Structure 1
Amino acid sequence: MTQSPQTVTPVSPGSESRPRRPGRLRAALRRIATPSLLIGVGLVVLTSLFGIIGPFFVADPLAISSGGMQPPSAEHWLGTTQTGQDVVAQLAWATRGSLTVGLIVATLALLLSAFFGVLGGYLGGWVDELFSLFTNVVLILPGLPLMIVIGSYVEQRGLLLISLILAITSWAAAARVLRSQTLSIRNRDYVQAARVAGEKPHRIISVEILPNLLPVMSSGFVFALITAILGEAGLSFIGLGVYGTQTWGSMLFYAQNAQALTLGGWWWFVPPGAMIALLGCGLSLINFSIDGIINPRLRTAPKAARNLRKAEQAADERSSRPDDGSSDRRSTSSKEAVA
């Protein structure tokens, strides 16, 4: 009986089905996109959208209605102030003002910390010593009392001036961190190779050092943003804030002067306080996520702790569970030994 020959089709190397591996970008996003980061970004985005888009859809925050200290209603969603101004309109414009101050301060603080920290750490020598001395002097100065003293001596406190005062007192800590990281990076092989190749210092700093400092600089920017918003709210709450600009701190200041807490007007002071808390929570979650990206130990610590707890629970279950088979074997062996 003859068998028909089997035809074998050649398979080209490119036509074989190979499992597709996720790209590096997708894997990095999966590793970075933690729940805390997503929640933090969501809170910050919602707050920012309210401050950017909200003023276009609300009434004039200075317009006075018929009645003052009215509770929330269909006409005024968050009630009115003592003089009859709409709280929602004031909150929208105050959100924009506080975010503007925070972004200006965070940007100035980032530039100052990068200049003194990165430049001093890379150049070394007397430049590093001089920059470190100046940074340490600024760092030991008390921030809030210094802002109060400067703000009390300045009569026309505009938005840029208050932002400059806040930036002066909030860059030194980030500069020390950037300096220590720069001291570690400048002795690495690729930086030494760039020096040997004749690259100029400004190109080495901008191409070789700064890209490796982006996570640290991002964390410093977020922390400076939180500090600026809280500092501005503190200055405005005591009457030393920005003139002519609505902020969360100014809303709290006017609510305090009008004794809104005593009169039961919670709708006047709770919304700005809640906005400060929500934005601060969102920025803090983002900052914690950035710290986890910078330091892998913080990212793997929760997983290691969960594994340790599971191992301890399994050990406790094994120790508490009676071993019937072993006890029967021990009793049988003892009887045979006696016999």
Structure 2
Amino acid sequence: MTHSIGILMKSPKFLIGSITSLLMILLVMIYPLINTKDPLEMMALAFQPPNSDLILGSDNFGRDLFLELIYGIRTSIMVGLVAGLCATLIGLVIGLACGYIGGFVDNILTALTNMFIVIPSFIVLILISVSLNSRSSFIVALIIGLTSWPWTARAVRAQTTSLRNRDHVNIAKISGHSTPKIILFEILPYIASYVVMAFILQVASGILSEASISMLGLGPYNTISLGIIMNWALVFEAPVAGAWWAFIPAAFAIAIITFSLYMINTGMDEIFNPKIRS
């Protein structure tokens, strides 16, 4: 474990992604402690340009956009983490069951996975969001997680299938170990790095999905996220008014967050993927 971390620390891509993500998290955790104002407080004219008092100007309601951006990043990261955890856990359980047990269980769960893959997850996400009367950021995160697990399940299934007939697994079978114990101690440690990489990609995907549905006006209520900031800018015609500060910083924040996560994933892939490493 320590050896793997040491190798990762030598990867420029992993370091760039990790440092960027860490700085972003520290910013959204520390800044609200310094600036304790309500991000929804109106304190200027609509679409006021950036100045010494308002770093990123004001939005259509005359609110501090920089403060909104900080809270928006925090909400989007939280949604991404919850959605990523949910999708990764579902995909991991289904993938392990398919790959190790095989047979009838594999056929049923693979058919379920393929059904979710065939139906566009974004369409399902929109339909579920529309049908809900109350949408908190946590509920939106769960919906995203419940609609984005299939590719993780397929990846885990492929890895598990390649491991189930290895010598150490066969020895565990002969020794009379139970199926859950074999999966937990003989297979899961060998695919742990792939699971972590899948989680990172699911977090990035969750952030992008939340931004997409929020821009359509189907995001969480009574909160601020990066997608909601962009939705406000579009609804109140910020591009027409030339108020670039109302939407470009939020779009840039989404790009930076997802870019840093993909850099972390790419750095890990170069270390743990034998084909790339060779």
**Which TM-score band applies after superposition, normalised by the shorter structure?**
over 0.9
Distance apart, 1:230 and its partner CA: 0.5
The amino acid that maps onto 2:244 is W
Aligned length: 277
- Listed one character per residue, the Cα deviations across residues 69-94 of structure 1 (whole Å, up to 9, x for unaligned) are 21111111111112211011101111
- Of 58, 65, 75, the residue aligned with 1:87 is 65
Alpha-carbon distance between aligned partners in 1 of 2:176 and 2:273, rounded to the nearest angstrom? 33
1:53 aligns with 2:30: yes
- Of 157, 161, 164, the residue aligned with 1:186 is 164
- Listed one character per residue, the Cα deviations across residues 231-271 of structure 1 (whole Å, up to 9, x for unaligned) are 00000001000111210000000011121111111111111
Alpha-carbon distance between aligned partners in 2 of 1:116 and 1:264, rounded to the nearest angstrom? 49
- Of 195, 212, 216, the residue aligned with 1:238 is 216
The amino acid that maps onto 2:22 is V
Alpha-carbon distance between aligned partners in 2 of 1:136 and 1:195, rounded to the nearest angstrom? 30
Aligned to 1:220: 198
- Listed one character per residue, the Cα deviations across residues 98-135 of structure 1 (whole Å, up to 9, x for unaligned) are 01100000000011001100022111221111111111
- Of 27, 41, 49, the residue aligned with 2:18 is 41
Conserved? CA contact 2:44–2:58, under 8 Å = no
Aligned to 1:3: none
Alpha-carbon distance between aligned partners in 2 of 1:32 and 1:122, rounded to the nearest angstrom? 33
Alpha-carbon distance between aligned partners in 1 of 2:274 and 2:99, rounded to the nearest angstrom? 24
Conserved? CA contact 2:9–2:15, under 8 Å = no
Q: TM-score, normalised by structure 2?
A: 0.95
1:148 aligns with 2:126: yes
Q: TM-score, normalised by structure 1?
A: 0.78
- Of 242, 261, 264, the residue aligned with 1:283 is 261
Aligned to 1:270: 248
Q: Tell me which structure has the larger Cα radius of gyration.
A: 1
The amino acid that maps onto 1:112 is I
Alpha-carbon distance between aligned partners in 1 of 2:239 and 2:119, rounded to the nearest angstrom? 34
Query: Comparing 222-231 with 142-151, which one deviates more in the overlay?
Result: 142-151
The amino acid that maps onto 1:38 is L
Aligned to 1:123: 101
- Listed one character per residue, the Cα deviations across residues 46-84 of structure 1 (whole Å, up to 9, x for unaligned) are 121222222222221111114222111111111111221
Alpha-carbon distance between aligned partners in 1 of 2:99 and 2:15, rounded to the nearest angstrom? 34
Conserved? CA contact 2:73–2:225, under 8 Å = yes
Deviating above 6 A after TM superposition, structure 1's stretches of 4 or more consecutive aligned residues are none
| Equivalent position SS for 1:242 | coil
The amino acid that maps onto 2:117 is L
The amino acid that maps onto 1:176 is R
Alpha-carbon distance between aligned partners in 2 of 1:294 and 1:90, rounded to the nearest angstrom? 38
Aligned to 2:74: 96
Distance apart, 1:28 and its partner CA: 6.2
Q: Which of 1 and 2 has higher RCO (CA within 8 Å, sep 6+)? A: 2
Conserved? CA contact 2:12–2:267, under 8 Å = no
Query: Comparing 189-198 with 54-63, which one deviates more in the overlay?
Result: 54-63
- Listed one character per residue, the Cα deviations across residues 1-56 of structure 1 (whole Å, up to 9, x for unaligned) are xxxxxxxxxxxxxxxxxxxxxxx945861465211111111111112122222222
Point out where structure 1 has 5 or more consecutive residues left out of the alignment: 1-23, 301-339
Conserved? CA contact 2:7–2:271, under 8 Å = no
Give me the CA root mean square deviation: 1.6
The amino acid that maps onto 2:120 is P
Distance apart, 1:206 and its partner CA: 1.0
| Equivalent position SS for 2:201 | helix
- Of 26, 29, 38, the residue aligned with 2:6 is 29
- Of 63, 84, 89, the residue aligned with 1:111 is 89
